[in-house]
Structure 1
Amino acid sequence: MNTHIEGRQVHINKPRTEVFSHLSTPANFSDIMPDDVQKFESGDDWFLFELKGLPAVKMKVAELSPSDKIVLKSASDKLNFELVGTLTDENDGTAAQLHFHGEFNAMLKMMVTKPLTNFLGKLSDKLEQL
């Protein structure tokens, strides 16, 4: 079952190219992780994070579209999902929005929709503070 969750659009007081450059480096995702992240590790094209009470999630950079889109995919074969960040120019900075796309069965979709929506909200709050 296809699952799509959109984070709210946020404004960042930096040029789009600067935001894109920052988020193109997996290690920099630690800057937007929620405060309840207990573990964060990164490599050249991946990062791993763990929230309290949940298993660790490893994400790999799947696509970098010059200055306007970053696509991260799950590194696990068990769960198929991606996190897409889109960036657009605004008068005095950048508009950014996060989108979650996943393929889950109906039961899993019911279980993960609310926590994922909350997680995207926390990521969006931190993204706005970059």
Structure 2
Amino acid sequence: MNLESPKVTLDKSAEETFNFLSDVKNFESLMPDNISKFEVLENDKFLFALKGMPEIILKKKEAVANNKIVLGAAGGKLDFALIADITEIEPNKTDVKLNFEGEFNAMMAMMIKGPISKFIETLVTNMKTEI
């Protein structure tokens, strides 16, 4: 299952955007209002939970300077990745889009498609005010 967030344009350089997203503790400020738990576990790993959903642990798996950050599931039964694509369109103007990629059975995909789509849309929308 592949889901894409809308693209947002930030009034920041690609480097500033990349540096913000590289620090996993900054994801707390991007989370939706219905977050019930957020905890940094290691330098590159954090745990979060939304009300009514199980806890999810994300770990930074890959970072391509000023272009891409890949967060992947760290443990748990689901294997997925959250990819931030960062594109500088001019100095101090950067496009960001989040992609969610995971392998799920049809029943699971149907159940999580809506909440995950809303979740990644909220993350990129909050980037406009937080980065």
TM-score band (shorter)?
Answer: over 0.9
Q: Equivalent residues in 2 for 1:27-42 (5 A)? A: 27-42=25-40
**1:25-60: per-residue Cα shift (whole Å, max 9, x none)?**
111111211111111011211011110011110000
Aligned pairs (5 A) from 1:30-109: 30-42=28-40, 43-91=42-90, 92-109=92-109
What's the TM-score, normalizing by structure 2? Answer: 0.94
User: Residue type of the partner of 1:41?
Assistant: E
CA RMSD in angstroms comes to 1.0
- State the alpha-carbon separation in 2 of the partners of residues 8 and 36 from structure 1: 20
For 1:4 and 1:119, locate their aligned partners in 2 and report how far apart those are by CA, in whole Å: 14
Task: Give the superposition deviation at 1:84.
Answer: 0.1
Matching residue of 2:120: 120
Identity fraction in percent: 38
User: Does the alignment pair 1:9 with 2:37?
Assistant: no
- CA–CA distance in structure 2, aligned partners of residues 120 and 96 of structure 1: 12
Q: Distance in 2 between matches of 1:94 and 1:35?
A: 25
Gaps (5+ residues) in structure 2?
A: none
Stretch of structure 1 that moved more, 116-125 or 95-104: 116-125
Structure 1 segments unaligned to the other structure (5+ residues): none
4+ long deviations beyond 3 Å = none
Whichever residue aligns with residue 51 of structure 1, its letter is L
Q: CA deviation at 1:77?
A: 4.4
Tell me how far 1:16 sits from its aligned partner. Answer: 0.7
Aligned length: 128
